Amino acid sequence: MICKRSKCDRKVLAKGLCGMHYQRVATAARAWRPCECGCGEATQGPLFVSGHNTRLLSPEEQGRRGRMNDGSAQRDRGRGHTYRKMRGVHEHRTVAEKMLGRRLTRSEIVHHRNGNVRDNQPANLEVMSRSKHALLHLHGR
């Protein structure tokens, strides 16, 4: 069976419609309601429009949460096996780019000499090609 919408030849998923058209109908059927903060903006799924949940808090509490939310609470947590990021870029790549005075290409890898992925000191970083890096780790260094 094919979708009952005109000019659509996809297979039927439910109620005589393909997946795409069924999803559109289901989304349109969800009730819109006003944001719970009182702004009057419409929202479909959650109770608040994004970010409006803090409007119910006092100005002092909003300020306190804003000062706390700089990302430092989540930094360097966990087991230490992953690379740190600065503004969405791996920190070791940023340090290596500053050392070289240019941007790294996609084919260049930054190797941590001592094996500690959290140690991003310039003396511990070495820029090399992907193939050289693979050989280096193949031989257990």
Is residue 91 within 8 A of residue 124, CB to CB? The reply is no
Q: How confident is the model at residue 80 (pLDDT cuts 50, 70, 90)?
A: low
Q: How far apart are CA 131 and CA 137, in angstroms?
A: 10
**Which pLDDT score is estimated for 75?**
65
Q: Residue range 13-20: average pLDDT?
A: 89
Instruction: Please tell me whether the overall predicted TM-score, pTM, comes out greater than 0.85 for this model.
Output: no
Q: Residue range 72-77: average pLDDT?
A: 66
**Which pLDDT score is estimated for 29?**
73
Q: How far apart are CA 141 and CA 134, in angstroms?
A: 10
Give 105-138 pLDDT, tens digit per residue. Answer: 999 999 999 988 888 999 999 999 999 999 998 8
List of E strands, 51-138? 85-86, 89-90, 108-112, 125-129
pLDDT at 68 over 70: yes
**Which pLDDT score is estimated for 88?**
80
Is residue 83 within 8 A of residue 75, CB to CB? The reply is no
* 76 CB-near residues (< 8 Å, 6+ apart): 84, 118
